[in-house]
């Protein structure tokens, strides 16, 4: 019941046409997505607006889960916790690497490490839960 | 050292000119902000894209904190946990009501209840921590 | 399908005979529980060991949920977030007041404010999710 | 300024004499601790009482942080989020493996995977923040 990267990209383009998140990799209970950082995404301190990081974390989780369970549009986030660790670079893409910790019948849980492109130290860590609708 | 609603609105317009969040009330350790919901903010299920709710929660916290400690641009989120409770209405503004639980010298903690405008049941609950820079 | 305070107390005594948590009130989507603080529960700084506070938060949630859905022993915590706000007093009971934010068919979410007995300022805030088994 | 396993064990025995957590390894920004599971630690469903898992997560974080910054008794948890993934075995020790994500001057953040001894799949995942006192 898994979905390929191509399936997921097509689904996201159709359902989230304005999304600026790009799917880089998906499979094996993992996913990597990335997001450009433009001048409007910055906040005081020459760093990235926090909600952009939350968006990348949420999308990375969604993509990893769709990769496992197939295109289930109504899978929805029930819980997300994000810790901001370091100041992301103002001029670099944000990369989100998700690793699923559990994929059950009713819910999936995963964690996401977020990076400024090219920097090995994570800027944020997120962990989140998706609810999977019972009739699929 | 507190900041008025007018001070905060001016600061946000200058620093976050593209923000679609509106400050409705601030003071007494609380704040209410709201955010329009347009066609691009929806996701499958005729509901609101989760990261928009995270954005409202984060801004509500920021505004409530600035209301208490004054305009400290470099106050930054260190942690945010959000629970999604009910499906928000596709066509209604999201309202975020923040109540601060603690305002210390080094950090502030608050919780935010998020609503679809006109509906008394919360659609999400968030709790978050901001770090306050030592030199202010 | 709700359970009374008496039902819940009997159930907890039977299933958790060593628990030092006391049920003080339950009903209307809320619960208050409390826990003694003895010499073995302290940590450096003359304050209470953090996991005791997590225990009180978890039990307060469980009791509030059983009050709504009846005695469902297999309801289990899926997620808990706790923020420590102030140092609890070494010599006072910890009080946990839970308010449920959602009671659905598959999950319940609630928040808990924790206090040192007699002090009006919360020492901790927790929010947690319980999974409710499908066959009840 | 780091502390050895021996230093940490001595400190914990002195400050937390009733603790049933054992330090197995510490160093390099990581720690492994474990906790026995006795009959009084179980809950309905023949599984482990949730707060025991929270305790192991909290202690694993504390030990990993002391390993990096030395014996700083007043380092305190400010935030902990735990996700329960699978039912732990009733009869096996709980193992907590902490990996620090950040050790700053004012705070440290780490994640902990919890296991039932001998089972490679994590039963829980936790992420937490400790506040480090300014004068050390």
Q: Locate the chain A residue with the closest alpha carbon to C82.
A: A81
Tokens of B67: 């209301």
Residue D96 has pLDDT above 90, yes or no: yes
Residues 6+ apart with CB under 8 A from A79: A128, A129, B81, B82, B83, B84, C79, C129, D83
CB B79 within 8 A of CB B62: no
Instruction: Report residue B136's pLDDT band, with 50, 70 and 90 as the boundaries.
Output: very low
Does the beta carbon of D105 lie under 8 angstroms from any beta carbon of chain B?
no
- At A68-77, the pLDDT tens digits run 999 999 999 9
- A136 has a pLDDT exceeding 60: no
D124 touches chain C (CB under 8 A): no
A11-59 per-position pLDDT tens digit:
999 999 889 999 999 999 999 999 999 998 998 888 899 999 999 999 9
Q: What is the pLDDT of residue A46?
A: 85
Closest Cβ opposite residue D127 in set A79, A83, A109? A83
| Whether A77 contacts chain C with CB within 8 A | no
pLDDT of residue D44: 86
ipTM of this complex: 0.95
Residues of B in contact with C102 (CB under 8 A): 85-86
Q: What are phi and psi of D95, to 5 degrees?
A: -110, 135
Check A129 against C81: CB less than 8 A apart. Answer: no
Interface test with B, best of C80, C86, C98, C102 (most B CBs within 10 A): C102
Question: Closest Cα of chain D to A13: distance in Å?
Answer: 31
- Helical (H) or strand (E) element with B101: strand B94-103
- D133 contacts D87 by C-beta, under 8 angstroms: no
Residues of D with Cβ-Cβ distance to B107 under 8 angstroms: 78, 131
Minimal Cα–Cα distance from B39 to chain D, Å?
33
DSSP chain A: ----HHHHHHHHHHH-TT--EEEEEEETTEEEEEE---GGGEETTTEE-HHHHHHHHHHHHHHHHHHHH---TT-EEEEEEEEE-SPPPTTS-EEEEEEEEEE-SSEEEEEEEEEETT-SS-SEEEEEEEE--S--
**pLDDT value, residue C10:** 97
What length does chain C have? 136
**Mean pLDDT computed over C31-60:** 94
* Mean pLDDT, residues B6-13 taken together: 96
In this complex, is the C-beta atom of B30 within 8 Å of any C-beta atom belonging to chain D? Answer: no
Average pLDDT of span D6-34 = 95
* Closest-CA residue of chain C to B121: C101
CA–CA distance, D27 with D24 (Å, rounded to integer): 11
- Which pLDDT does position A45 carry in this prediction? 85
Q: How confident is the model at residue B135 (pLDDT cuts 50, 70, 90)?
A: low
**C-chain residue closest to B86, CA distance:** C102
The answer, for C131 touching chain B at a CB cutoff of 8 Å, is no
Q: Which of C21, C115, C3, C124 is nearest to C65 (CA)?
A: C3
A80/B79 Cβ within 8 A = no
Scanning every residue of chain A, which has its alpha carbon at the shortest distance from the alpha carbon of C133? A106
- In chain B, the percentage of residues whose pLDDT exceeds 70 is 99
CB A40 within 8 A of CB A33: no
- Of A95, A94, A57, residue with least CA distance to A79: A57
User: Closest by alpha carbon to A52, among A89, A102, A101, A5?
Assistant: A89
CA distance readout (Å), B47 to A18, B53, B84, B111: 16, 11, 12, 23
The answer to whether residues C123 and C55 touch, using CB atoms and an 8 Å cutoff, is no
A87 CB within 8 Å of a chain D CB: no
Which pLDDT value is given to residue B29?
97
Burial class of residue C19 in the structure, from the number of CB atoms within 10 Å of its CB (0-12 exposed, 13-18 middle, 19+ buried): middle
Residue D136 pLDDT exceeds 60: no
D2-14 average pLDDT score: 96
- Is B1 in the A-facing interface, judged by CB distances under 8 Å? no
Hey, CA dihedral for B14, B18, B24, B25, is it positive or negative? negative
Q: Please give the Cα distance from A126 to B80 (Å, whole number).
A: 9
C81 to A81: CB separation less than 8 angstroms, yes or no:
yes
Q: Kindly state whether D102 is in contact with chain A, defined as any CB-CB distance less than 8 angstroms.
A: yes
Nearest CA in chain D to C55: D51
State the virtual CA torsion across C62, C68, C70, C73 in degrees, nearest 10.
Answer: -20
Q: What is the pLDDT of residues C98-136, one digit of tens each?
A: 999 999 999 999 999 999 999 999 999 999 999 999 864
Q: pLDDT digit string (tens) for B62-93?
A: 999 999 999 999 999 999 999 999 999 998 99
- Chosen for mutation from D29, D82, D101, D114 (greatest number of chain A CBs closer than 10 Å) is D101
Using a CB–CB cutoff of 8 Å, tell me whether B73 touches chain A.
yes
Kindly state the helix (H) or strand (E) to which residue B81 belongs, with its residue range. strand B76-84
Q: Does D46 contact chain C (CB < 8 Å)?
A: no
> CA dist D65 to D111, D114, D132, Å?
11, 17, 9
pLDDT value, residue B1: 76
Residues of C in contact with B85 (CB under 8 A): 101-102, 109
Does the reported pTM lie above 0.90?
A: yes
Give the span between the Cα atoms of C135 and B31, in whole angstroms: 42
Instruction: Give the tens place of pLDDT for each residue, C2-36.
Output: 999 999 999 999 999 889 999 999 999 999 999 99
Q: Identify the sign of the CA torsion D36, D38, D42, D45.
A: positive
β-partners of residue C101 are none
The reply to whether residue C54 touches residue D49, judged by beta carbons under 8 angstroms, is no
Residue D100 predicted with pLDDT over 90 = yes
Instruction: Establish if B19 touches chain D: CB-CB under 8 angstroms.
Output: no
For residue A101, count other CB atoms closer than 10 A to its CB.
Answer: 20
pLDDT at B13 over 90: yes
- The Cα–Cα gap between A30 and A98 comes to 5
Q: What is the mean pLDDT of residues B2-18?
A: 94
Interval D16-30 mean pLDDT: 95
Q: Does A2 touch chain C (CB under 8 A)?
A: no
Query: Which chains contact A through at least 3 pairs of Cβ atoms less than 8 Å apart?
Result: B, C, D
**Is residue D97's pLDDT more than 70?**
yes
Residue in the block written with tokens 């197995």 = D24
Closest residue of chain C to D79, computed from CA coordinates: C83
CB burial of C50-85 (b: ≥16 within 10 Å; e: otherwise) equals bbbbbbbbbbbbbbbbbbbbebbeebbbbbbbbbbb
Q: What are the residue ranges of helices labelled H in B1-136?
A: 5-15, 50-69
């Amino acid at each position: 019941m898994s979905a390929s990267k191509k399936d997921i990209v097509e689904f996201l383009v159709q359902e989230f046409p304005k999304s600026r998140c790009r799917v880089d990799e998906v499979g094996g209970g993992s996913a990597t997505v990335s997001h450009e950082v433009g001048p409007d995404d910055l906040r005081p301190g020459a760093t990235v607006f926090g909600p952009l990081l939350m968006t990348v974390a949420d999308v990375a989780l969604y993509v990893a889960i769709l990769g496992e369970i197939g295109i289930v549009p109504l899978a929805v986030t029930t819980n997300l916790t994000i810790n901001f660790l370091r100041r992301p670079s103002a001029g670099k893409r944000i990369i989100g690497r998700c690793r699923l910790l559990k994929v059950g019948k009713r819910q999936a849980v995963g964690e996401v490490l977020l990076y400024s492109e090219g920097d090995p130290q994570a800027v944020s860590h997120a962990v989140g839960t998706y609810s999977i609708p019972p009739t699929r």
